[in-house]
Amino acid sequence: MKWQRRYQAARTQLTPGQNLAPEEGFPGTPDWTGQWLYSQCAVYDDLHPRQQQLLADLGLTAEGARTARPRRKTQAASFAAGLAHARAWAQQHGNLAVPEPARHDGYRLGTWLRTQRRRASRGKLPADRIKALEAIDPHWNPAGGLRWQQAYLTARTHTTGRSLTTTADLDALPSATAKWLFTQCSSYGRLHPEQQQLLAETGLTSERAHVLAPPPKPSQPPCSVRPRLKNPPSSFNAGLPYARAWAAQHGNLTSACYRTEHDGFPLGRWLYKQRRAAHDHLKRTGNTWLHDPQLTALDPWWNPPWRVTWNHSWHLAHTHYTAAQPFPNNTIKWIRTQQRAWAQLHPHQQHLMIIIGIHGPTPLCRYNSRPAILTDQPTELINIHETSPRQESRSSQARPGPARKQRHTPRQHPPHRRTQPAN
């Protein structure tokens, strides 16, 4: 499909009966069409016979494919083409401050000039080409950049025939131009000499820039420096007492999530930083972290080789398991996920799952807390909701369908007789 689209595009660019002249590089064809035709000549023998027939309809035969030459354009010819477009642009606009997306007669002149400026800044543009561009516009590669040059040309247009003596003269200009000129006055000493020369041509000399520059902002009094904490929250000694208190209360450290606070201390964030420090130290040196034994004494799984969020889910399941409470629905889903991925679990993860009664992948069944009758199945996977033979026989019988409502005939009332008054 892609080949057919390109073939149709090339066919629209060619006239019927046109001489392609492949031995001369397909002259007289658009640049893209000539390159595509030569690429087909390079793989002509590998094309399908139907593709070869379609190319023959355009005038490209097997003999022409063998003698085809590549469609190449030398750097000198490419530069000459771009220079001609640049000269035409300068004659129309008076400068070469061309925006990057601008085109001239379909030629991407802005992109071409950007490439020439980049090559000139790297010292890879020949001197004769630099002189050719300077002959068109001496400031084709401005020292302040293209955006500064474009803003300068706009300001020069607005200040032609005006005097820039007081601030009122600048305020009379368009707001964007006035703001830009005030900025140049404030930073006049830091401008490039070429930029200062261009501003002097508009009447903004060094003396006037010093006069028109806005007054500097009053210096603010230095803010009081907060004294550095002796034990910042990120230090190890600051969080160790809180970690000990949490471990004494909960029996572990992995149940504390990232937002956990203990007595106002960000314990979860502190543990996260200690795990990062231990991981970076092991990766950098290959040795165990210095403070790892102190935290391991509080919780052997404080820095597991898997995600800590896994331990959060495990502690939730362990809490319900030890309290003989049924698992919540989210915990049941988590247990079933671990069973499906049992072979991918870490050996220590499998050991922790066995602690809560999950001994491996088992068929899906009901999860209960603490069954009264123990069997060979894992503790948490026993279905105590067994049906009796009577219930099974009752369930196997077909239920009678709902009784069909009978249509009752409307009740007929006797005709109302008018009572005659007694004589």
3-state SS string over 360-411? CCCCCCCCCCCCCCCCCCCHHHCCCCCCCHHHHHHHHCCCCCCCCCCCCCCC
CA 287 vs. chain centroid, Å, equals 36
The single-letter DSSP state of residue 191 is S
| Burial of 175 from C-beta contacts in 10 A (0-12 / 13-18 / 19+) | exposed
Structure tokens at 221: 């009094």
| Nearby residues of 31 by Cβ (< 8 Å), 6 or more positions away | 71, 73
What is the C-alpha separation between 90 and 245, in angstroms, rounded?
78
Instruction: Judge whether 172 and 212 are in contact, CB under 8 Å.
Output: no
pLDDT tens digit at each of 423 positions of the chain? 788 888 888 888 888 888 888 888 877 777 778 888 888 898 989 889 999 899 888 888 888 888 888 866 667 788 898 999 999 999 999 999 999 889 988 888 999 999 999 999 999 899 999 999 999 999 999 988 999 999 999 998 888 888 888 888 888 888 898 899 888 888 888 899 999 899 888 888 888 888 888 777 777 776 665 454 444 555 788 888 888 998 888 888 888 888 888 888 888 888 888 888 888 888 888 888 888 888 888 888 788 888 888 888 888 888 889 888 888 898 889 888 888 888 888 888 888 888 888 888 765 444 444 444 433 434 444 333 344 444 434 433 444 445 454 555 555 555 544 444 443
Rounded to whole angstroms, how far apart are CA atoms 208 and 201? 13
- Could you tell me the sign of the dihedral formed by the alpha carbons of 353, 354, 360, 361, in that order? negative
| Phi-psi sector, 25: left (phi>0), alpha (psi -120 to 50), beta | left
Chain-centre distance for alpha carbon 225: 38
C-alpha–C-alpha distance, residues 153 and 143, integer Å: 14
Q: What share of the chain is helix, strand, coil (3-state, %, to 5)?
A: 55, 0, 45
pTM of full prediction above 0.85 = no
Separation CA 365–CA 381 (nearest Å): 6
> Would you say 254 and 299 are in contact if contact means Cβ atoms under 8 Å apart?
yes
